[in-house]
Amino acid sequence: MRTPALFVLLALSLGAMAGEIDQTTALQVMQRPDAVVIDVRTAEEFAEGALPGARRIETPDLARRIGTIAPDKDTPVVLYCRSGRRSSAAQEVLEDLGYSQVINAGGYDQLAALLQRN
């Protein structure tokens, strides 16, 4: 029982460097009830499909809006976009704001396919 929790804590403490995609950790963190999942794609992309529970906030709006969604800067935040590039930029924004558990999950299509398999 403790092994999965320890693995998640270890993964979060090691963390990926800003910009690096870490879908394995993202999938694990998304199972946590306190995790926030943010889709940084456009409204049109979001309308074509999104992960369950994801909130859409484009990167330019993230600094202004994150405080209402995740006021605690230790909240685990999972970001995704189409390819991982915009979510990487969003990860930098959040880390610059002091968020400590930010994971770049990369592209929506790959992530959605992984979620379907699990």
Residues designated as active site: 81
Report the C-alpha gap between 14 and 35 in whole angstroms.
18
Find out whether 57 and 93 touch, Cβ atoms under 8 Å.
Answer: no
Task: Note the Cα 36 to chain centre separation in Å.
Answer: 7
Tally of CB atoms within 10 A around 109:
12
3-state secondary structure 75-86: CCEEEEECCCHH
